[in-house]
């Protein structure tokens, strides 16, 4: 008779012992009976039962899913760290880290997988060369490539990766979700062929498992992927690359709410590996670490494909009719006459985002969420972007019956419609999650744009990041203010970063790139500094404000969100928890709230938040851990804990 200790993907932080006829190795996935159901779990121990379990009738395992383990004891330490740091159970941590597939796929992921295509890498510029030498001068350490858009950060990453592989050590190359379809993965596959494993969310579970095992066996020493690829199981990790470090998608939105940057730092220090991050717009936190010398900052200041940084012009929208200012129209036409291309960016899907009554002030909101519904003209529906609820549009006010109603604000659909009217001779396409619902559409549009069959590409985030098109002269930011009204201390940082990044798509291969930034707030610092590409000025100013308001990086935050159907119960729970924390923290952290979240209701759940702000992370983390383990929530109330939250909505 043998025994195994199993943890499950449930918010209960303990292991359960089961019996097995034959030995089951540590680190395999199993199915085991649990409260009348069969649950998938992970073997985290193979010891005989402890005393307190010896008296119970132990149940046998139901099934063993893997012949070979998926992780070892060292890897379990990382999982324990994740669970502890982010207040999840060990089982939840492992579920976030490991692939879910049951059977490896036989077909290779890429038909052309195999030998590397022989590409001759470009000769490095002197800045790139210095960067590579500096990073390779030590076996470990943290570096940051702070380089303008188009300064060749990718090539530095690739060279450092190559050198690390030659040392016989493994590489993890992280890219934000959005860029995955893009050019980086392409370049890696060309350069490293079958040595590269690709881990991303669009793989089937079986494909993920296959790629995982290739990494584990050392067959694919380089793993590229989005956030969760930071958990790739390299036998000897030597380097983690974190491209576009500032991206919000590196933070997980569900438990454990980890940040890939923090996990990468932890893994690199455990494995004595190098960490190389990069961006044209570092997060304020990363900039601060560079300033303090805790991360070695390396600057890249020149564009390498013959381009220059574009000229950025701010256009004040006050008094303009419609969404296209005269200046933007002129530049679009001018660009088109020269046979060159334009990208238009707007951070909002749909046609218009609010239905408003001018008589009584009624605004159409989601019945289940406290946010305005967005009008989608093609589907002819009012849609909630938080829960997916949709309803028929109306032409009179449901509250007072007035006909004086209208749609306000513009989304990408409306920009498209107006652009088609204004520029009938220009071939244009829209890229946003609605437009690319059908598989293959995204790839097709990008290909056509690259080949010059499309003159003007307009869309959301999808057109903003990572695209490198030689033909693009003009970038238009249709409305730069969309994020500035958010009640979030990172609003300015996000807006600044977005303007710089989107602008970076212009003029990558030509000296006369042009950007038009339309805004109702031309005086706002985020807009002004971005337009002047005044990087250090922006960060200095922003750091000053953060210091004054005691926000990160000058403090650490914990966010607790209580949610449930009954507002009274939820508020009560939050008030009670807040009072307890106040008592136990005894001044080691400020307890802010409870207050209703800025988005007070999502999908019928009322939301209240408490924010802890502190300078002493670990003691406060401990107090909170204690409190959470003792705190019993009433039925139907849930508590989300977010360590170092990136969103406070
Ligand atoms: P970033 O990631 O810094 O925005 P990229 O890595 O996309 O910049 O590089 C911008 C362009 O410069 C790409 O077209 C790339 O092929 C080119 N490039 C990079 N390094 C060199 C080099 N050493 N010589 C010539 N072109 C280069
Ligand atoms: Zn009305
Ligand atoms: Zn909703």
What is the per-residue pLDDT across 585-617, written as a single tens digit (0 to 9) for each? 989 999 998 998 888 899 999 999 999 999 999
Most confident of 300-304, 424-428, 511-515: 424-428
For the sheet containing 638-643, what is the strand order? 589-602, 605-614, 556-564, 638-643
Distance 149 CA to ligand 1 centre (A): 9
423 in Cβ contact with 335 (< 8 Å): no
Ligand 1 pocket check: which of 126, 130, 148, 155 to mutate, most ligand atoms within 8 Å of Cβ?
A: 155
Rounded Cα distance, 485 and 20, in Å? 58
Residue 516 is predicted with a pLDDT of: 96
Ligand nearest to the CA of 280: 1
pTM: 0.90
Ligand nearest to the CA of 152: 1
Pocket of ligand 1 contains residue 121 by CB under 6 Å: no
**Residue 115 confidence (pLDDT) above 60:** no
Distance 371 CA to ligand 2 centre (A): 18
Residue 180 is predicted with a pLDDT of: 55
Rounded Cα distance, 353 and 508, in Å? 33
Pocket of ligand 1 contains residue 305 by CB under 6 Å: yes
Look up residue 171 and give its DSSP letter.
E
623 in Cβ contact with 581 (< 8 Å): yes
Dihedral angle computed from the Cα positions of residues 166, 167, 169 and 171, in that order, rounded to the nearest 10 degrees: -50
**Residue 131 confidence (pLDDT) above 90:** yes
Residue nearest to atom 10 of ligand 1 (CA): 150
**Residue 108 confidence (pLDDT) above 60:** no
Residue 116 is predicted with a pLDDT of: 55
Distance 486 CA to ligand 2 centre (A): 26
455: left (phi over 0), alpha (psi -120 to 50) or beta: alpha
Q: What angle do CA 177, 181, 182 make, to 5 degrees?
A: 100
Does residue 384 or residue 153 have the better pLDDT?
153
Q: Which of 176-185, 406-415, 502-511 is predicted with the least confidence, judged by mean pLDDT?
A: 176-185
> What is the β-pairing status of strands 237-243 and 605-614?
unpaired
Residue 537: φ, ψ to 5°: -60, -45
Give the chain's mean pLDDT: 90
**Residue 267 confidence (pLDDT) above 70:** yes
Residue 277: φ, ψ to 5°: -100, 165
Residue nearest to atom 27 of ligand 1 (CA): 304
Which SS3 state, helix, strand or coil, does residue 583 take? helix
Cα of 426 vs its chain's centroid, Å: 34
Mean predicted confidence (pLDDT) in 395-405: 88
Pocket of ligand 1 contains residue 304 by CB under 6 Å: yes
Residue nearest to atom 2 of ligand 1 (CA): 153
Pocket of ligand 1 contains residue 145 by CB under 6 Å: no
Pocket of ligand 1 contains residue 128 by CB under 6 Å: yes
Q: What is the pLDDT of residues 483-529, one digit of tens each?
A: 887 778 898 999 999 999 999 888 877 888 999 999 988 999 999 99
Which SS3 state, helix, strand or coil, does residue 147 take? strand
Q: What is the pLDDT of residues 280-296, one digit of tens each?
A: 999 999 999 999 999 99
Confidence of residue 107 (pLDDT cuts 50, 70, 90): low
Which SS3 state, helix, strand or coil, does residue 31 take? strand
**Residue 387 confidence (pLDDT) above 80:** no
Q: Which of 102-106, 243-247, 532-536, 556-560 is predicted with the least confidence, judged by mean pLDDT?
A: 102-106
Rounded Cα distance, 294 and 301, in Å? 22
> What is the β-pairing status of strands 141-147 and 29-34?
unpaired
Whole-angstrom CA distances from 167 to 2, 128, 162 are: 41, 20, 9
Secondary structure of 421-447 in HEC code, one letter for each residue = HHCCCCCEEEECCCCCCCCCHHHHHHH
**Residue 637 confidence (pLDDT) above 90:** yes
Rounded Cα distance, 460 and 345, in Å? 6
Q: In 3D, which of 328, 516, 514 has the Cα closest to residue 423?
A: 328
Rounded Cα distance, 411 and 69, in Å? 49
Distance 478 CA to ligand 2 centre (A): 30
- Distance, first Cα to last Cα, the chain: 52
Residue 475 is predicted with a pLDDT of: 94
Does residue 526 or residue 439 have the better pLDDT?
526
**Residue 112 confidence (pLDDT) above 70:** no
Q: Indicate if the alpha-carbon torsion angle 222, 225, 226, 231 is positive or negative.
A: negative
Rounded Cα distance, 600 and 617, in Å? 28
**Residue 124 confidence (pLDDT) above 90:** yes
Rounded Cα distance, 66 and 102, in Å? 8
- Domains belonging to the chain, first-starting first, are 2-97 (3.40.1440.60), 126-300 (3.40.50.300), 311-350+410-547 (3.40.50.300), 556-643 (3.30.70.600)
Confidence of residue 109 (pLDDT cuts 50, 70, 90): low
Rounded Cα distance, 316 and 523, in Å? 9
Distance 312 CA to ligand 3 centre (A): 37
Look up residue 359 and give its DSSP letter.
T
Whole-angstrom CA distances from 59 to 22, 48, 507 are: 14, 13, 66
Distance 39 CA to ligand 1 centre (A): 48
**Residue 15 confidence (pLDDT) above 70:** yes
Residue 434 is predicted with a pLDDT of: 79
Residue nearest to atom 15 of ligand 1 (CA): 152
Which SS3 state, helix, strand or coil, does residue 231 take? helix
Look up residue 257 and give its DSSP letter.
-
> What is the β-pairing status of strands 341-345 and 456-459?
parallel
Ligand 1 pocket check: which of 129, 156, 305 to mutate, most ligand atoms within 8 Å of Cβ?
A: 305
Ligand nearest to the CA of 279: 1
Ligand nearest to the CA of 468: 1
Pocket of ligand 1 contains residue 187 by CB under 6 Å: no
């Amino acid at each position: 008779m043998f025994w195994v200790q199993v943890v499950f993907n449930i918010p209960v932080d303990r292991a359960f012992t089961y019996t097995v006829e034959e030995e089951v190795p540590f680190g395999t996935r199993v199915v085991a009976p649990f409260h009348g159901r069969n649950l998938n779990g992970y073997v985290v121990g193979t010891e005989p039962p402890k005393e307190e379990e010896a008296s119970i009738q132990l149940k046998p395992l139901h099934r063993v899913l893997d012949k070979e383990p998926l992780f070892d004891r060292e890897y379990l330490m990382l999982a324990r760290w994740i669970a502890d740091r982010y207040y999840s159970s060990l089982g939840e941590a492992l579920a976030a880290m490991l692939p879910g597939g049951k059977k490896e796929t036989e077909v290779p992921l890429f038909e052309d997988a195999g030998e590397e295509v022989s590409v001759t890498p470009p000769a490095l510029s002197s800045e790139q060369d210095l960067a590579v030498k500096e990073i390779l001068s030590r076996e470990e350490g943290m570096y940051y490539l702070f380089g303008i858009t188009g300064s060749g950060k990718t090539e530095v990453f690739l060279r450092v990766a190559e050198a690390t592989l030659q040392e016989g050590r493994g590489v993890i190359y992280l890219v934000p979700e959005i860029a995955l379809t893009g050019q980086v993965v392409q370049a890696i596959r060309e350069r490293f062929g079958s040595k590269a494993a690709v881990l991303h969310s669009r793989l089937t579970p079986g494909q993920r498992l296959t790629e995982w095992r290739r990494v584990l066996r050392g067959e694919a020493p380089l793993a590229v992927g989005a956030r969760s690829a930071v958990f790739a199981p390299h036998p000897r990790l030597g380097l983690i690359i974190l491209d576009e470090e500032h991206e919000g998608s590196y933070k997980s939105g569900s438990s454990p709410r980890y940040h890939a940057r923090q996990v990468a730092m932890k893994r690199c220090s455990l494995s004595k590996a190098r960490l190389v991050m990069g961006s044209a717009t570092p997060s304020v936190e990363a900039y601060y670490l560079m300033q303090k010398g805790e991360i070695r900052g390396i600057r890249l200041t020149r564009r390498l494909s013959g381009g220059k940084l574009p000229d950025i012009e701010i256009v004040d929208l006050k008094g303009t009719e419609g969404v296209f200012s005269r200046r933007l129209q002129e530049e679009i036409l001018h660009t088109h006459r020269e046979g060159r291309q334009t990208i238009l960016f707007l951070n909002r899907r749909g046609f218009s985002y609010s239905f408003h009554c001018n008589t009584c002030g009624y605004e159409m909101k989601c019945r289940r969420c406290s946010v305005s519904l967005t009008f989608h003209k093609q589907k002819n529906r009012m849609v909630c972007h938080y829960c997916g609820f949709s309803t028929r549009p109306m032409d009179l006010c449901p509250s007072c019956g007035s006909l004086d109603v209208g749609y306000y604000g513009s989304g990408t659909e409306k920009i498209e419609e107006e652009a088609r009217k204004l520029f009938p001779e220009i071939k244009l396409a829209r890229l946003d999650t609605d437009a690319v619902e059908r598989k293959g559409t995204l790839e097709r549009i990008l290909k056509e744009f690259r080949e010059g069959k499309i003159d003007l590409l307009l869309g959301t985030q999808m057109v903003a990041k990572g695209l490198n098109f030689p033909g693009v002269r003009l970038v238009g930011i249709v409305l730069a203010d969309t994020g500035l009204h958010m009640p979030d201390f990172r609003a300015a940082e996000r807006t600044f970063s977005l303007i710089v990044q989107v602008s970076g798509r212009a003029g990558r291969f030509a000296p006369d790139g042009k950007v038009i930034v339309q805004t109702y707030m031309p005086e706002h610092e985020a807009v002004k500094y971005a337009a002047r590409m005044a990087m250090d000025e922006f960060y200095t100013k922003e750091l000053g404000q953060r210091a004054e308001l005691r926000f990160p990086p000058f403090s650490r935050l914990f966010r607790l969100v209580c949610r449930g159907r009954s507002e009274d119960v939820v508020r009560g729970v939050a008030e009670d928890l807040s009072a307890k924390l106040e008592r136990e923290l005894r001044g080691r952290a400020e307890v802010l709230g409870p207050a209703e979240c800025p988005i007070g209701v999502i999908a019928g759940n009322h939301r209240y938040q408490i924010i802890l702000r502190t300078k002493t992370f670990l003691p406060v983390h401990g107090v909170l851990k204690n409190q959470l383990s003792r705190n019993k929530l009433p039925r139907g109330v849930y508590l989300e804990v977010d360590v170092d939250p990136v969103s406070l909505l």
